[in-house]
Amino acid sequence: MGPQFGNFSRLRLFEEAGFGRIEFLGISSMLQVSFHGLSEGSSIDVASAREEFAQTRCLFLKQFLDLPVQERIKGMIDKLEYYTRIDLDTEGKVFARELTLDERHPLAWLMFMLLNQDALFDAIQAITGSETPFRYFRSRVYEFSPNPDHYDSWHDDDEKDQTIGLSVNLSPAPIEGGEFEIRDANSLRVLKKVSGSQFGDAHIFQIGPEYQHRVLPVTGKNGRLSCAGWFCPKPDFRSEMKEILRNRMPSNDPSSHAADTVG
């Protein structure tokens, strides 16, 4: 039985949300998300991970999504309908443009449910040394196409109790370009560049006025499909999960976050 959520196991929660019957197909030896929660046997050297994060303010998570989750996602991305999202800075200037998936799409619901769980919150807090416990992951699914109209500029996301960002690669096809970078906002020194990311990989990164991040342009023929968002201390994700079961969608309206973007 998976980790408990009220009167439901996590497997029952996904089934109630319309994702069908979920079977357990294996275990993991890394920090990895599954339909059960964190994969059985999932582990990570917290001390080493925390040291690397402290030095670069970023940590790469290889195969963050387990294989059953990856297979389910592959079956959901053939026909995605987007709207164009434009992000503005505090001065009203455009610093990013992308294609964002409607939050009512099953893929957006799936990622919201996978990434909102206490075990993951605890692991991310332990790795990053955050003083405030996480209770909610606010997310969106978006794509950068190999199109000059899609771009991301240096920014910090420093608002709305956002302290740690996460980006998950949802692109089964190889991506050219689209690397993630984070830098010191004062010295402008790049602290880490995440390249070579594959389907199911992820990275976490520090949010705050001392750090800026961006995603470089996609240069190949395939778009960069990602789920990205922020770990936050509020609201409690359980109230949002209840909304999913009641209405089949989370109250996570992207129009209310028009000035936000993450890499």
- pLDDT tens digits, 106-144: 899 899 999 999 999 999 999 999 998 999 999 889 988
What pLDDT is attached to residue 7?
34
Confidence of residue 262 (pLDDT cuts 50, 70, 90): very low
Dist CA 87 CA 155 (whole Å): 11
Token pair in block for residue 43: 């582990």
Report how far residue 184's alpha carbon sits from residue 56's, in angstroms, rounded to the nearest whole number.
9
Q: Does position 28 have pLDDT exceeding 50, yes or no?
A: no
Residue among 136, 133, 197 nearest 167 (CA): 197
Domain ranges of the chain: 46-257
Residue 188 scores a pLDDT above 60: yes
Residues β-bridged to residue 231: 137, 164
pLDDT for 89: 64
Q: Which residue has the higher pLDDT, 155 or 44?
A: 155
Lowest mean pLDDT of 10-14, 79-83, 226-230, 239-243, name the range: 10-14
Rounded percentage of the chain residues whose pLDDT exceeds 70: 72
Q: What is the assigned CATH class of domain 46-257?
A: mainly beta
pLDDT digits (tens, 9 = 90+) for 195-218: 999 999 999 999 999 999 998 888
User: What residues have CB less than 8 Å from 78, skipping those under 6 apart?
Assistant: none
**Is a pLDDT exceeding 60 seen at residue 157?**
yes
What's the rounded mean pLDDT across residues 218-244? 87
pTM of the model: 0.79
